[in-house]
Amino acid sequence: MITRDAIYVDGSWIKSTSTSTIEVVNSTTEEVMATVPEGTAEDVATAVQAAKRAFNTWSKVSVEERSKYCTRIAEGLQARLDEISTIVSQEVGMVKNLSSLIQVGLPINSFNTAAAIASDFEFEERSGNSIIVREPIGVVGCITPWNYPLHQIAAKVAYAIAAGCTVVLKPSEVAPLNAFLLAEIIDEVGLPAGVFNLVCGVGPVVGEAIAKHPDVDMVSFTGSTRAGRRIAEICGSRIAKVALELGGKSANIILEDADLDRAVADGVSKAFLNSGQTCSALTRMLVHRSKLTEAEQIAANAAEKMTVGDPFARSSRLGPLVSQAQWDRVQRYISIGIEEGATLVTGGSGKPEGLETGYFVKPTIFSNVTSDMTIAKEEIFGPVLVIMPFDSEEEAISIANDSDYGLAGGVWASTQDRARSIAREIRTGQVEINGGAFNPNAPFGGYKKSGIGREFGHHGFEEFLLVKAIQE
């Protein structure tokens, strides 16, 4: 049992103004594994004032010095990789080996990359009689989700502090423990007081207080479209910058000339990553009607090979969902899919045999799904894949774009040129072609209701800068 009884503000661990706590539940055992303070608006105000004071000096610290701190934080994460990945696997349910690579490996990359970008970035340029200057935006409120908790924290915090901003972080109350470990590392490397502040708590209290605070110059939020809309409304009312990385319902087009075995198996894997708890998961598989039956068989075989179980067991490919609420949500969508007449290829309602304890879900695939079905339109956030037939390339593109979301996508074809041509037609923030690997340094973000702004790489770094023209 882990007890966290303080928040991190102005370079110190201090008591919250609240005496209430939040329970953190182990997603595999369903037992309470920790408690953390339930922060308040007063805590946020204290943290924001600390960040505001620190900004005056941190924004003037040399780029080289800021980069050194980011590198030291990355080294601190590397030194505690096993401990952090274990915590995240307990909180979220991702299998341990992937947790090490993704849930900690990617945050290490973010701090190192942010350091490198800051070191090489051209903060000034000349245009005619003007000097164009890029300056840190100020105090950044970072509100992050539970599915890739430390990864999303690093996407904001690393780039913000490297750019010269100071931050107030609200991690997800569902998976907050990894944020406390990051705060310990930040404290150990001696980051100046107030540059990084941690206030845990629930969204309607701590998240709202961050978004509403007049001294928060920007809010960077990752989470649901519903919550993102609320953040945007609050920030819009006071004309504060907002960056939103929201939901997705990404299409994976498999053309009739593609390598079907490879494409379908890869698509199932991409849809089920982190037990489907991935905003950019390729959850709509579009298959040429002539290949539909064959694709269903390949998909079913791939899904049935994905052993569900304890994330710390070597045989496990899929762990549990994060919470009872998420399990209930996914079960509801599976029931809706059956009720709306989709063909259940494999999986279905209930827990896998022998896994009565833990928020486990059967890897589920539906076929003959049409765009008007709920399971084709709404983000399920579990190991549920829908297969949708098409009859022409034009129809496939139309189906792919027939979504409120536009976060990610995939295209499989016999040639890179054909796949690339179709990728350009899909209205989405990123597209992988013929299984192209995820690039953690490429811009990440969405079109339409998938969000505003970009994270990672140079584009993510620039989100935390303002542009000033000095005329001479």
Helix (H) or strand (E) holding 284: strand 284-288
Residue given tokens 């896998």 in the structure block = 352
Active-site residue, from 208, 245, 432, 463: 245
Amino acid at 446: G
Q: How far apart are CA 212 and CA 207, in angstroms?
A: 9
DSSP string, 287-326: EEGGGHHHHHHHHHHHHHTS-B--TTSTT-SB---S-HHH
Candidates 222, 250, 232, 243; CA nearest to 452 is 243
Based on the number of CB atoms within 10 Å of its own CB, is 131 exposed (0-12), middle (13-18) or buried (19 or more)? Answer: middle
Q: Which tokens belong to 28?
A: 């595999």
Residues 288, 49: Cα–Cα separation, whole Å: 57
Query: CA dist 263 to 236, 268, 275, 328, Å?
Result: 42, 9, 19, 30
245 is catalytic: yes
What is the token pair recorded at 52? 């505001």
Residue-wise burial string across 354-390, b where 16 or more C-beta atoms lie within 10 A, e elsewhere = ebeebbbbbbbbbbebeeebebbeebbbbbbbbbbbb
Query: Which tokens belong to 103?
Result: 């849930």
Q: Which of 70, 142, 200, 279 is catalytic?
A: 279
Residues in the chain: 472
Active site residue 279: yes
Instruction: Judge contact between 379 and 408, C-beta under 8 A.
Output: no
DSSP E strand stretches across 98-235: 124-127, 130-136, 139-143, 166-170, 196-198, 218-222
Q: What are phi and psi of 421, to 5 degrees?
A: -60, -45
Which residues form the catalytic set? 245, 279
